[in-house]
Structure 1
Amino acid sequence: MENLSSAILFLFALFLVSPARSRVIPGDGARTTWFHVPSSIQKSLAVFPAYSQGERSLDGQKQRSHSSSAFSLPLHPRLSVRPTSERDYKSLTLARLERDSARVKSLQTRLDLAVNGISRSDLKPVGEEELQDEKLEGPIISGTSQGSGEYFSRVGIGNPPSEVYMVLDTGSDVNWLQCSPCADCYQQVDPIFDPANSSTYSPLTCDAKQCRSLQISECRNNTCLYEVSYGDGSYTVGDLATESVTFGGSASVNGVAIGCGHSNEGLFVGAAGLIGLGGGPLSFPSQINVSSFSYCLVDRDSDSSSTLEFDSVTPPDAVTAPLVRNAKLDTFYYVDLTGVSVAGKLIDMPPSLNLKDNGDGGVIVDSGTAVTRLQTDFYDSVRDEFVRGTGHLRGAGGVALFDTCFDLSNRTSVEVPTVSFHFSNGNKLQLPAENYLIPVDSSGTYCFAFAPSSSSLSIIGNVQQQGTRVSFDLARSLIGFSAHKC
């Protein structure tokens, strides 16, 4: 009996640490789908001629809201706001992937800080001499490596409102923008915001609850100072204040806590700052007290636009999944992913990768990360199944973090395996082929747009979210995915 019990315990332990298991799903529908090559290549070619005559104004573009939301912001891909400095699509791809790696590193670092129990009381105090040049010392705090921000919203700040482009980021809480006078400011599309010209700008005192909510803050002349640092060395430092924020030129919200950055450095090219959409108390959704928000990310190579909406209703045809919160880190939005299927074959996510009580592990949905990251062993199982279904395609060498690529230069349409996410409530989200087979140059090289990660944190990135309205129902703890709702 003792030997039997030992054997059962051994098998149970083996199950917990074993690599991802796979199984065929009966009646799972189509196992392959068609991918149209020429249209994708044409979009990559159009990126550069489209901007040969300079930047285009988007102020006149109209966006169609998908709800009766009172708060709706236009949402633009990065290239429609500011042209790329790269000379060809391969260089653009490599630059994007480099920024993306810095982004992922910053998210993983923030999670490590939370898991290891580092709090504000553990941080080194800032001396008065350091405050003179506003070089606050603090931990690496998650957010976006601003260079990896691929989607921008047009927002009015102050009264009268100054319209600026801001990056949206579900992995960050603190809202901020560059302000004059500038000790150190990077180049942005719009004029630098001057708080002296706004009648609603009000610096926060050091005992304000918003100041106490910062991961790190300091006090100078009874004004709250903030700092946000990112994984690639970028940072913003300045005064924390309240301001009015205007949507679509009409509706506005007063008293939003926002950082007025006088010293900003790094890859923050183009945007004036950042809208934090995370789950913490300083995030934009938390401050305006909405029960939901949603966004739709158009193809990042297009000049189309969509909307970021607050208090929006999840479409009835949405694929929903449980929205899970991390008790150690309230910023990130976790989804209860149970597996990934390729060509109808489900690869179960190992239980060891689930979100743990100590805050480690889990899967987040992130607007700032481009490429979906899966823990290495899990990724290998998904990738290997995809390779088995693409044996008829000509292989190509890997590109940066992509290890599975194909030469489709002489093809018009190709049949590829379907790829779907599976959630704990039994729902399945099937991805369009263009959301997991993406061009890396303009000559027909395509790569499988998933990547391995040595971290226990997995991330569903924005490439896999393109063309889908992603709804965060904060009241019901659900996340919804609605295809073709941009």
Structure 2
Amino acid sequence: MASSSLRRRSVFHGGALVVVLAVVALVSAPRRTGAAPPAKTAGPRWHVVSVSSLLPTTAACAASKASSNSSALSVVHRHGPCSPRQARGGAPSHAEILERDQDRVNSIHRKVSADAAASVINPARATKDVSLPAKRGISLGTGNYIVSVGLGTPAKKFSVVFDTGSDLSWVQCQPCKDCYDQQDPLFDPAQSSTYSAVPCDAQECDELDSPSCSSDNKCRYEVVYGDQSQTDGDLVRDTLTLTPSAKLPGFVFGCGDENSGLFGQADGLFGLGREVVSLPSQAASKYGPGFSYCLPSSSSAAGYLSLGGAAPANAQFTAMVTRSDTPSFYYLKLVGIKVGGSSIKVPPTVFVSAGTVIDSGTVITRLPETAYAELRSAFVQSMGRYNYKKAPALSILDTCYDFTGHSKVQIPTVALVFAGGATVNLDFTGVLYVARVSQACLAFASNGDDSSISILGNTQQKTFAVVYDVANQRIGFGAKGCT
């Protein structure tokens, strides 16, 4: 299992992170005196945005459109003004966010490699003799999104990170031997009339990667994340309340009584992975297989998470790829990238050979070195038309610009092309990671080689309705999903 992940134009103001929503206008061809017209290309070529929109604005939380699904939850960034559980001491710095993001990426790469090796040793994954890496979750990162859910009867509210790279959901529970600090009271099983522990001989216990059994016949779970955060506790059942009209009786989750690590002050984690213990899998019989979400363009806005596979009319779909070595992850086939409407010169095999996983907890999309080099080259060439001043690199981001003194900036569009022809034209917020007006960086990074798996991060997913249509084994992207 795994765990959790922000990026768009974000700035620090007064020590707090304020991620600013820019109103983006798309134009097909910007004009510049004395410039030769660009070669004719297909699709939009430029984003034009006012530099003033990159500056700090009010930190108030703005309302946004949510899914019409009755089970839809509001999605907010854990460090933004919409978050009900902002960490004490303020938000992490941009360098910290990106360093932790690299830790998560390294953890995903290790897990994929280790699980692939384990599947060769034991393809059926049927014995417990080998210590399978699936027991270890991926690093949590810092660019996490959270939702608020109710647990128990009567329902008590908890703010939890949601993560497509994890399966088991869990919260901290009373009595607790060792719990990290959180703002909400811990879940107290004694206060719920619908609570029950899962016994050791139950099927749900057997479905865990490495369960153990307590002396009183309670199924015990353990997850150690890639950053050494850890949760241990009882596997239990209780009523999950998504909205006042949407309840899921008998929801199986972890009741953590020994928890430590980098969870911030979130009350726990909800897994959206593909295994049977995940939230979407448990809810499939009631709401249909699959789920969708929209990550807002700014930490001062809200998106949604909705169970079921319903898709907006404008969604473009690509096949959902299944890999037996890492069954929790959602894979798709990225086959190309367009910059300013023109395809970069990289064979599709460069993208396809290692594969691509879509992850809600990774901030910055990682690409094979060959693909990233071509993307960066095309982007730099396009930006060179306007002589923007270069800025220093920001951690893992090596292509940055200083927009000081400009009233507007023109940025080439970037589109991701997936198998089957789905072409996702990224929002401006998916192209640049803006730490400050004087440091706006291309929001992609290299894997450092062509053999490591690519990762589609949450920065590039912002503003899209991202649909995980499990019934039809496909993933879709609908533009302007949060508005």
Q: Report the TM-score, using the length of structure 1 for normalisation.
A: 0.82
- Structure 1 distance, partners of 2:338, 2:139, is 31
Query: How far is 1:428 from its partner?
Result: 0.8
SS at match of 1:260: strand
In structure 1, the partner of 2:349 is 351
Aligned-partner residue type, residue 301 of structure 1 = S
Q: In the alignment, is residue 121 of structure 1 matched against residue 128 of structure 2? A: yes
Q: In the alignment, is residue 375 of structure 1 matched against residue 361 of structure 2? A: no
SS at match of 1:340: strand
Measured against aligned partners, the alpha-carbon deviations of 1:97-155 in whole angstroms (never above 9, x if no partner) come to: 1221222222222212210116562446xxxxxxxxxxxxx847454534525211110
Q: In the alignment, is residue 285 of structure 1 matched against residue 285 of structure 2? A: no
- Structure 2 distance, partners of 1:63, 1:30, is 26
Match of 1:329 among 311, 326, 330: 326
Query: How far is 1:352 from its partner?
Result: 4.9
Measured against aligned partners, the alpha-carbon deviations of 1:68-119 in whole angstroms (never above 9, x if no partner) come to: x3422121111232445667x8x62112112212222222222122101165
Q: In the alignment, is residue 473 of structure 1 matched against residue 480 of structure 2? A: no
- Structure 2 distance, partners of 1:408, 1:294, is 35
In structure 1, the partner of 2:400 is 405
Unaligned runs of 5+ in 2: 1-37, 120-124
Please list, as runs of the form range in 1=range in 2, the aligned pairs for 1:15-26 lying within 5 A after superposition.
none
In structure 2, the partner of 1:97 is 98
- Structure 1 distance, partners of 2:381, 2:143, is 34
SS at match of 2:112: helix
Aligned-partner residue type, residue 187 of structure 2 = F
Measured against aligned partners, the alpha-carbon deviations of 1:342-363 in whole angstroms (never above 9, x if no partner) come to: 12231335415426xxxxx211
Q: In the alignment, is residue 237 of structure 1 matched against residue 235 of structure 2? A: no
In structure 1, the partner of 2:355 is 362
- Structure 2 distance, partners of 1:163, 1:402, is 38
- Structure 2 distance, partners of 1:212, 1:71, is 29
Distance 1:314 1:255, change over 3 A: same
Q: In the alignment, is residue 191 of structure 1 matched against residue 188 of structure 2? A: no
Contact residue 41 and residue 439 of structure 1 kept, 8 A: no
- Structure 1 distance, partners of 2:455, 2:136, is 14
Q: In the alignment, is residue 108 of structure 1 matched against residue 109 of structure 2? A: yes
In structure 1, the partner of 2:17 is none
Q: In the alignment, is residue 76 of structure 1 matched against residue 76 of structure 2? A: yes
In structure 2, the partner of 1:3 is none
Q: Kindly report structure 1 stretches of 4+ aligned residues shifted beyond 6 Å.
A: none
RMSD: 2.4
Of 186-195 and 168-177, the range deviating more from structure 2? 186-195
Contact residue 138 and residue 227 of structure 2 kept, 8 A: no
SS at match of 1:326: coil
Q: In the alignment, is residue 416 of structure 1 matched against residue 411 of structure 2? A: yes
- Structure 1 distance, partners of 2:226, 2:48, is 38
- Structure 1 distance, partners of 2:347, 2:143, is 29
In structure 1, the partner of 2:13 is none
Contact residue 97 and residue 400 of structure 1 kept, 8 A: yes
Q: Report the TM-score, using the length of structure 2 for normalisation.
A: 0.83
Q: In the alignment, is residue 451 of structure 1 matched against residue 450 of structure 2? A: no
Measured against aligned partners, the alpha-carbon deviations of 1:266-301 in whole angstroms (never above 9, x if no partner) come to: 110121111110111111111112322110111343
Please list, as runs of the form range in 1=range in 2, the aligned pairs for 1:34-433 lying within 5 A after superposition.
34-43=48-57, 46=58, 64-67=65-68, 69-78=69-78, 79=80, 80-81=82-83, 82-83=85-86, 92-117=93-118, 119=125, 121-123=128-130, 139=133, 141=135, 143=137, 145-221=139-215, 222-289=217-284, 290-302=288-300, 304-347=301-344, 348=346, 350-354=348-352, 361-391=354-384, 392-433=387-428
SS at match of 2:314: coil
Contact residue 376 and residue 452 of structure 1 kept, 8 A: yes
Contact residue 144 and residue 169 of structure 1 kept, 8 A: no
Contact residue 134 and residue 209 of structure 2 kept, 8 A: no
Contact residue 295 and residue 309 of structure 1 kept, 8 A: yes
Contact residue 357 and residue 454 of structure 2 kept, 8 A: yes
Contact residue 142 and residue 171 of structure 1 kept, 8 A: no
Measured against aligned partners, the alpha-carbon deviations of 1:209-255 in whole angstroms (never above 9, x if no partner) come to: 21111111111122111011111111111111112100123321111
Aligned-partner residue type, residue 455 of structure 2 = I
- Structure 2 distance, partners of 1:151, 1:255, is 25
Distance 1:450 1:103, change over 3 A: same
Query: How far is 1:411 from its partner?
Result: 1.4
- Structure 1 distance, partners of 2:228, 2:39, is 45
In structure 2, the partner of 1:12 is none
Query: How far is 1:482 from its partner?
Result: 1.3
- Say which structure is richer in helix: 1
Contact residue 28 and residue 344 of structure 1 kept, 8 A: yes
Q: In the alignment, is residue 463 of structure 1 matched against residue 459 of structure 2? A: yes
Contact residue 421 and residue 428 of structure 1 kept, 8 A: yes
- Structure 2 distance, partners of 1:456, 1:96, is 22
- Structure 2 distance, partners of 1:424, 1:470, is 16
Contact residue 143 and residue 169 of structure 1 kept, 8 A: no
- Structure 1 distance, partners of 2:243, 2:143, is 21
Distance 1:123 1:75, change over 3 A: same
SS at match of 2:47: strand
